[in-house]
Chain A
Amino acid sequence: MSAMSNVTAIQRCNDFVVKFANVNGSGSASANELFARAIIRMGVTVTPRNIFPSNIQGLPTWYEMRISDAGWRGSRGSCDLMVAMNPQTWDRDIAEIEPGGYLFYDSTKPLPRSKFRDDITVLGVPLTEICNREYSDLRQRQLFKNVMYVGALTALLDMEMAAVEKLISDQYRGKDKLISANFNALKLGYEYAKANLPCPIGLRIEHADSVGDNIFVNGNDACGLGAVYGGATVAAWYPITPSTSVIEAFTSYCRKYRTDPDNGAARYAIVQAEDELASIGMVIGASWNGARAFTATSGPGISLMQEFFGLAYFAEIPAVIFDVQRGGPSTGIPTRTQQSDLLSCAYASHGDTKHVLLFPEDPYECFSLGAQAFDLAERLQTPVFVMLDLDIGMNERLCKPFDWDDQRRYDRGKVMSYEELEAGKDFGRYLDVDGDGIPYRTIPGTHPTRGAFFTRGTSRNAYAKYSEMGEDYVYNMERLRRKFDTAKTLVPTAILREASGPSRFGVIYYGSTSPAMDEAFADLEGRGIHVNTLRVRSFPFGEDVLDFIAGHEYVFVVEQNESAQMRTLLINEGEIDPKRLVRVLHYDGTPITARFIANKIADALDERKVSPIRKQVAS
Chain B
Amino acid sequence: MINWESNVFPGILGRVCDRPCEPACRRGRVDKEPVAICRLKRIAADLKEDIHGRLPKVPAQKNGKKIACIGAGPASLTVARDLAVLGYQITVFDNGKSAGGMMRSQIPKFRLPDSVIDEECDYIIGLGVETRYGQQIESLKKVLEGGWDAVFVGTGAPRGRDADIPGRQEAAAQIHIGIDWLAKVAFGHLSNISKRVIVLGGGNTAMDCCRSARRLGGEDVKVVVRSGFEEMKASPWEKEEAQHEGIPILNFLVPKEFSHAKGKLIGVVFEKVRAEYDAKGRRSLVPTGEPDVLMECDEVLVAIGQENAFPWIEQDIGVQFDKWGMPVLDKTTLQSTLPKVFFGGDAALGPKNIITAVAQGHDAAISIDQFCKGKNLMERPPPLTNLVSQKMGIHEWSYDNQISEEERKKVPMKALESALKNINVELELGFDPRLAYAEAERCLNCDIETVFTPKICIECDACEDICPTECISFIGNGDEADLRGRLKAPAANLDQTLYVSTELKTGRVMVKDENICLHCGLCAERCPTGAWDMQKFLIQVAHAGAEVRRT
Query: A and B touching (C-beta < 8 Å)?
Result: no
Q: A residues bordering B, Cβ < 8 Å?
A: none
Q: B residues bordering A, Cβ < 8 Å?
A: none
